């Protein structure tokens, strides 16, 4: 643990006598910033805009030099031993390529200290990387690697071609047999059948010999390649072992206090979790830094908030100056430990959002139902809440044999859902969804003006592994996501829009609306990609599909209540 700075307590610039204190500490994963946090954040943002001690390109000032990197900042309102209210400030990761700046709490452990085990180990790992680059650049290795890779590719191609020819020949022999039964005499058919059988045997041995040839050829090449690659692979394993050892040693240095005075390392904190080991960057976020410093200096935590400052990363949706909850992948286990002993706001995700809400059935016949799901109502049971469209239909129709749910809507999205009463109906409608025969239209109210009248958004999506259930735009691992859209109305600085999703990815419309490469205008009330409101202004208002019994195309529509 590093020596903590003693001058990080910041007094408010204006009087706070008229501010009421919260009864309990902030639940960090879903909150409305307390008024004192808003005041602290405002003062910190003024500092960021006016300070001249360090330079960092947040992407706010046009043509500023340096790599653009937006940052998450946090403020923690505290009371000191003298009874004074103030706040602490922190940033996630490094700022201006450094860990220490005036007004900000230090990291829990400073890996960047000159001469530290991490710096020394980093030099060793970097040296191994350089040595690897030299070995891999060896002309003999490069030449043989190219030959080996080409041979592997060629073997796959040749075997694929041969397998396809065998399939076609087999199909042709079958067709000839079938045709010959009615065209040839019994004797002539027997002769033909023998010839075709011999052709089949010949094809079998040809395929066997071809496989053997390519296997032997690759084995010979692989032996020579393995000899050349042995020192490279050995060095890669040594580098991996050194890197893992260094990472483990680093995690052992990150130890966090909680409100009861108990200290735990990152390794101990993550050991009971499904992932067992901490993810990279764990412990470097603003929230753990703030709480650790407060506990270390006997400062009483009152409320906390985090905001994004700067340009959004290309994969995420982050809006300059907006507040965000702590990340779950890295921070949830750490904060779970650190908040022990504090009186914390209740986790709203443990409260049933559908309590007192009615799900309306707008159509019913023997095979299916069409229901109108309210906003803030689960489609299927969650980790903590069972009440959902699925559960209510299951309770209401105990004799229904189907999987029931054919497609889902986000909990916050209202609108039409199809329910299958039997497995046969489920398969029939699901087939229509898979083949995109089902047509859907959503209506949304966006928090801004969209200048264009219509268009198509194509941004591939995948889940944010460190912050579920949020989605990232990812061109490498994301699934294709396509949305057509058309503006319906522009009024009072807002845009009413129709969305026609071609694919059905999680949070697709929300991300496509909010992301800078999409419409760059979040849906009103979007607590994940915009600003939390009374409700998410997104509604599945119209759906068209083919009825499983009549085979007729039918459609249903329910207008939004916004």
CB atoms within 10 A of CB 6: 8
| Phi-psi label, residue 341: left if phi above 0, alpha if psi -120 to 50, beta otherwise | left
Q: Can you tell me the mean pLDDT for 35-64?
A: 95
Distance CA 450, CA 434 (A): 31
Under a CB-based contact definition with an 8 Å cutoff, are residues 104 and 8 in contact? yes
Please name every residue paired with 372 in a beta bridge, in sequence order, or none if there are none: 360, 416
What tokens does 394 get? 């299951």
Q: Can you tell me the mean pLDDT for 513-526?
A: 96
Supply angle C-alpha 203, 209, 215, rounded to 5: 135
Under a CB-based contact definition with an 8 Å cutoff, are residues 101 and 54 in contact? yes
CATH architecture of residue range(s) 360-557: 2-Layer Sandwich (3.30)
- 162-166, 222-226, 368-372, 519-523: which range is least confident on average? 222-226
Dump pLDDT digits (tens) for 264-319.
999 999 999 988 999 988 999 999 999 999 999 999 999 999 999 999 999 999 99
Confidence of residue 228 (pLDDT cuts 50, 70, 90): confident
In terms of pTM, does the model score above 0.85? no
Distance CA 69, CA 206 (A): 60
Residue 151: helix, strand or coil by DSSP?
Answer: helix
Sign for the CA dihedral angle at 116, 120, 125, 127 comes to positive
Please name every residue paired with 90 in a beta bridge, in sequence order, or none if there are none: 74
Distance CA 536, CA 529 (A): 11
What tokens does 80 get? 């000191």
What backbone phi and psi angles, to 5 degrees, belong to 476? Answer: -90, -45
pLDDT > 70 fraction of the chain, expressed in percent and rounded: 99
* Distances, alpha carbon 474 to alpha carbons 71, 250, 291, 462, 481, in Å: 20, 29, 33, 6, 11
Residue 334: helix, strand or coil by DSSP?
Answer: helix
Please name every residue paired with 489 in a beta bridge, in sequence order, or none if there are none: 496
Flag whether pLDDT at 134 surpasses 90.
yes
What tokens does 4 get? 């903590």
Confidence of residue 1 (pLDDT cuts 50, 70, 90): very low
Flag whether pLDDT at 155 surpasses 60.
yes
Which residue, chain included where needed, has tokens 């500092």? 47
User: For position 158, what pLDDT does the model report?
Assistant: 93
DSSP H helical ranges for 307-396 = 328-338, 389-396
User: For position 345, what pLDDT does the model report?
Assistant: 96
Average predicted confidence (pLDDT) for the chain: 93
Distance CA 421, CA 68 (A): 53
pLDDT > 90 fraction of the chain, expressed in percent and rounded: 83
DSSP H helical ranges for 254-351 = 266-270, 286-296, 328-338
User: For position 307, what pLDDT does the model report?
Assistant: 97
User: For position 165, what pLDDT does the model report?
Assistant: 93
What tokens does 438 get? 């089902």
Q: Can you tell me the mean pLDDT for 484-494?
A: 97
User: For position 6, what pLDDT does the model report?
Assistant: 54
Distance CA 374, CA 277 (A): 40
- Residue bearing the bigger pLDDT, 226 or 290: 290
> Which of 187, 163, 165, 190 has its CA nearest to residue 177?
190
Confidence of residue 2 (pLDDT cuts 50, 70, 90): very low
For the annotated catalytic residues, the residue numbers are: 410
- The distance in angstroms from the start CA to the end CA of the chain is 53
| Residue ranges per structural domain of the chain | 10-109+254-349, 134-250, 360-557
Under a CB-based contact definition with an 8 Å cutoff, are residues 180 and 189 in contact? yes
Distance CA 189, CA 187 (A): 5
Under a CB-based contact definition with an 8 Å cutoff, are residues 29 and 330 in contact? no
User: For position 468, what pLDDT does the model report?
Assistant: 86
What backbone phi and psi angles, to 5 degrees, belong to 109? Answer: -140, 135
Torsion of CA 121, 123, 128, 130, to 10 degrees: 160
Cβ within 8 Å of residue 300, ≥6 positions away: 78, 79, 80, 294
What is the CB-side half-sphere exposure of residue 36 using CA atoms within 13 A?
Answer: 25
Distance CA 62, CA 58 (A): 10
> Which of 483, 474, 406, 470 has its CA nearest to residue 444?
483
User: For position 3, what pLDDT does the model report?
Assistant: 42
What is the CB-side half-sphere exposure of residue 280 using CA atoms within 13 A?
Answer: 3
Flag whether pLDDT at 358 surpasses 80.
yes
Flag whether pLDDT at 5 surpasses 60.
no
**What secondary structure letter does DSSP report for 529?**
T
What tokens does 403 get? 């999987």
Dump pLDDT digits (tens) for 384-424.
899 999 999 999 999 898 789 999 999 999 999 999 999 99
Under a CB-based contact definition with an 8 Å cutoff, are residues 419 and 406 in contact? yes
Distance CA 452, CA 153 (A): 47
């Amino acid at each position: 643990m590093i020596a903590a700075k003693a001058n990080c307590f910041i007094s408010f610039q204006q009087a706070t006598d008229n501010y009421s204190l919260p009864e309990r500490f902030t639940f960090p994963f879903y909150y409305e910033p307390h008024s004192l946090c808003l005041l602290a954040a405002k003062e910190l943002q003024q500092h960021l805009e006016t300070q001249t001690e360090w330079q960092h390109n947040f992407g706010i000032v046009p043509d500023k030099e340096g790599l653009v990197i937006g940052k998450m900042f946090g403020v923690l309102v505290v009371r000191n031993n003298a009874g004074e209210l103030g706040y602490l400030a922190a940033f996630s990761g490094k700022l201006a390529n450094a860990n220490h700046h005036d007004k900000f709490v230090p990291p829990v452990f400073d890996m960047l200290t000159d001469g530290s085990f991490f710096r020394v180990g980093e030099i060793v790992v970097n040296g191994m990387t350089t040595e690897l680059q030299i070995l891999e650049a060896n002309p003999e290795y490069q030449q043989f690697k190219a030959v080996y890779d080409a041979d592997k590719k060629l073997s796959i191609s040749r075997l694929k071609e041969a397998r396809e020819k065998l399939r076609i020949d087999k199909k042709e022999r079958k067709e000839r047999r079938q045709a010959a039964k009615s065209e040839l005499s019994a004797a002539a058919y027997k002769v033909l059948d023998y010839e075709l059988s011999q052709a089949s045997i010949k094809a079998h041995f040809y395929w066997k010999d071809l496989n053997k040839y390519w296997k032997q050829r690759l084995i010979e090449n692989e032996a020579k390649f393995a000899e050349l690659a042995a020192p490279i692979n050995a060095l890669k394993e040594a580098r991996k072992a050194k890197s893992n050892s260094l990472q483990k040693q680093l995690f052992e240095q990150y130890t966090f206090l909680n409100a009861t005075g108990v200290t735990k390392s990152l390794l101990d904190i993550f050991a009971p979790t499904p992932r067992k080991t901490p993810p990279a960057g764990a412990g470097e976020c603003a929230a753990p830094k703030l709480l650790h410093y407060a506990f270390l200096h006997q400062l009483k935590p009152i409320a906390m908030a985090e905001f994004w400052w700067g340009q959004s990363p290309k994969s995420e949706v982050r809006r300059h100056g907006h507040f965000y909850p702590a990340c779950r992948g890295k921070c949830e286990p750490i904060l779970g430990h650190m908040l022990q002993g504090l009186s914390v706001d209740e986790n709203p995700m443990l409260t049933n959002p559908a309590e007192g809400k009615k799900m309306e059935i707008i159509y019913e016949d023997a095979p299916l139902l069409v229901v109108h799901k309210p906003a803030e109502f689960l489609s299927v049971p969650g980790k903590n809440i069972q009440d959902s469209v699925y559960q209510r239909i299951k309770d209401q129709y105990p004799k229904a044999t189907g999987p029931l749910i054919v497609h889902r809507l986000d909990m916050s999205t209202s609108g039409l859902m199809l329910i299958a009463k039997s497995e046969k109906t489920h398969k029939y409608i699901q087939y229509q969804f898979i083949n995109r025969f089902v047509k859907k239209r959503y209506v949304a109210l966006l928090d801004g003006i969209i200048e264009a009248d219509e268009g198509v958004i194509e941004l591939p999506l995948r889940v944010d592994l460190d912050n579920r259930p949020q989605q990232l735009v990812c061109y490498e691992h994301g699934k294709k996501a396509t949305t057509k859209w058309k503006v319906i109305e522009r009024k009072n600085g807002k845009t009413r829009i129709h969305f026609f999703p071609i694919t059905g990815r999680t949070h697709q419309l929300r991300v496509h609306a909010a992301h800078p490469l999409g419409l760059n205008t979040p849906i009103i009330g979007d607590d994940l990609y915009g600003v939390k409101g009374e409700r998410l202004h997104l509604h599945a208002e119209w759906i068209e599909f083919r009825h499983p019994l009549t085979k007729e195309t039918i459609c249903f529509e329910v207008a939004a209540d916004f």
